[in-house]
Amino acid sequence: MLVKTIFSALLMGAALSFSAAAQTLSPADITAKINEKAGLINEYQALLNDPDPTRSIAAMEVMLESGDAKLQRMALDFGLFSPNKLVQYSALKAFFASRPVLRLYIDGSSVKDQDYFARSIRDLSGTVDNNTRGFATMKVGEFNPEQSCYKHSGSNGCFVRISETEVAINPWRGNWVQLTLNDQGELTGVVGFSPPAPITVPVTN
């Protein structure tokens, strides 16, 4: 019985040693994996940087529609920070087509009627912090071709309109807010309070 127990222990120890050895990567193994990943990234970047704008935009759109979060982030960043306005527009269009949840940050610190500001944010199911900064999240719905807009999620009202020059959102279903893309990949504009309040909408997946 003792011999059997010792033999079993030896077998278990050998198995654990083999498992540990199998999981240990040598520096050469790690270098090979790094080179493999870097090579793939460079190939994707090469597709996005194709000198033919049509092929470049097509690569970006395919990557945005891939369902792969890493590829989508790479393609979106490429489009948003491109100096080409048509590429930016294509990236924004693909972003809204993915029906994202938008995060709205509205700085109400200068608004005269603070009660009205707070009510307006609560109307969006949002909150106002101690610095009078409003925050709300709103989901983009499907595209309505008849009205050329993305709807509010769960309703037929227009929420987002996009053109090659600007984006407009309609959080309160009646007061459109014009937005432009800044160098940080954010949509910015002002909301029509008195005086107008700055709004920031990060563009993320």
Q: Name the residue range of residue 77's domain.
A: 24-97
Judging by beta carbons within 10 Å of its beta carbon (0-12, 13-18, 19+), is residue 129 exposed, middle or buried? exposed
End of a domain among 97, 125, 149?
97
Residues 105 and 157 in one domain: yes
Residues 136 and 154 in one domain: yes
- What per-residue confidence (pLDDT) applies to 196? 96
Residues 80 and 134 in one domain: no
- This prediction has a pTM of 0.74
- What per-residue confidence (pLDDT) applies to 17? 46
Determine how many CB atoms are found less than 10 A away from the CB of residue 176. 15
Mean pLDDT estimate for the chain: 84
Residues 74 and 90 in one domain: yes
Residues 33 and 66 in one domain: yes
Residues 92 and 131 in one domain: no
Residue type, 180: T
Q: Decide if 185 is inside a domain.
A: yes
Residues 76 and 137 in one domain: no
Low-confidence ranges of the chain (pLDDT < 70): 1-23, 27-41, 204-205
Q: How many domains does the chain have?
A: 2
pLDDT digits (tens, 9 = 90+) for 5-16: 444 544 455 444
Only one residue has tokens 């369902």, namely 67
Q: Decide if 159 is inside a domain.
A: yes
Residues 115 and 127 in one domain: yes
Residues 175 and 120 in one domain: yes
| 110 in Cβ contact with 142 (< 8 Å) | no
| 80 in Cβ contact with 46 (< 8 Å) | no
End of a domain among 44, 67, 97?
97
Q: Decide if 30 is inside a domain.
A: yes
Residue type, 28: A
Tokens of 103: 């995060």
- What per-residue confidence (pLDDT) applies to 205? 54
Alpha-carbon gap, residue 54 to 99, rounded angstroms: 24
**φ/ψ of residue 51, rounded to 5:** -65, -20
Tokens of 204: 């993320």
